[in-house]
Amino acid sequence: MMLKKALLGTALVLGFHGLAAAGPVQDKAGEAETALEAGKGVDAITLLREALFEVWKEAPMAIQTATYVTAPADGYGIYTARDGNAFAANEPLLIYLEPVGFDWIQKDGLYTSLLTVDFDLTSPDGNVLAGQKGFGRFDFKSHVPNTEYMANLTLNVSGAPAGDYVLVLTVNDENGGGSAKVNMPFSIK
């Protein structure tokens, strides 16, 4: 009931500004609320997932989470963030990413995604010191277009002198053509 009231309030506010128009997301949310009130929790969850897929398809590619970690993640959201961004000489950079808004393509009964990652290692003022296109490649197949998507990266910067740097990661959606960048400052002590 609370969801329906919130959606109704939003529709009324938008209506006063001439913007109210039901769309697939709002329709699915209303259907989910009705299903939940009828005691059909699984149906409500399915409908909200369908609404999320609608938002996902329209949202631009972005990096929701990018952090240095103490070890590769065991799964989506299952990671330990590193305390700080100072690394010892010859210590690899372990990175956890959560990209969103990329395209899934249906092929042979499965949804497939293909993301590649480029990196540039820059000085704090933006001078590119090193880089590589296609450094990471993530090719996933699933029965559903997953929205809980994560990637582990390991970058070896051995031989780099002590100092401050910025790791610039560009995640490319090879299916949809979009890309998203994230800047990750770090230092070598």
Domain ranges of the chain: 2-58, 62-188
**pLDDT at 22 (0 to 100):** 65
- Overall CATH class of domain 62-188: mainly beta
Distances (CA, A) of 31 to 1, 8, 50, 72: 12, 13, 11, 39
Longest dimension (CA), the chain: 64
**pLDDT at 105 (0 to 100):** 96
**pLDDT at 34 (0 to 100):** 93
The predicted model scores a pTM of: 0.82
Per residue, the 3-state secondary structure of the chain, as one string, reads: CHHHHHHHHHHHHHHHCCCCCCCHHHHHHHHHHHHHHCCCHHHHHHHHHHHHHHHHHHCCCEEEEEEEECCCCCECCECCECCCCEECCCCCEEEEEEEECCCCEEECCEEEEEEEEEEEEECCCCCEEEEEEEEEEEEEEECCCCCCCCEEEEECCCCCCCEEEEEEEEEEECCCCCEEEEEEEEEEC
Residue by residue, pLDDT tens for the chain (189 residues) are: 444 444 434 433 334 343 445 688 898 889 989 999 999 999 999 999 999 999 999 999 999 999 999 999 999 999 999 999 999 999 999 999 999 999 999 999 999 999 999 999 999 999 999 999 999 999 999 999 999 999 999 999 988 999 999 999 999 999 999 999 999 999 999
**pLDDT at 152 (0 to 100):** 97
**pLDDT at 24 (0 to 100):** 83
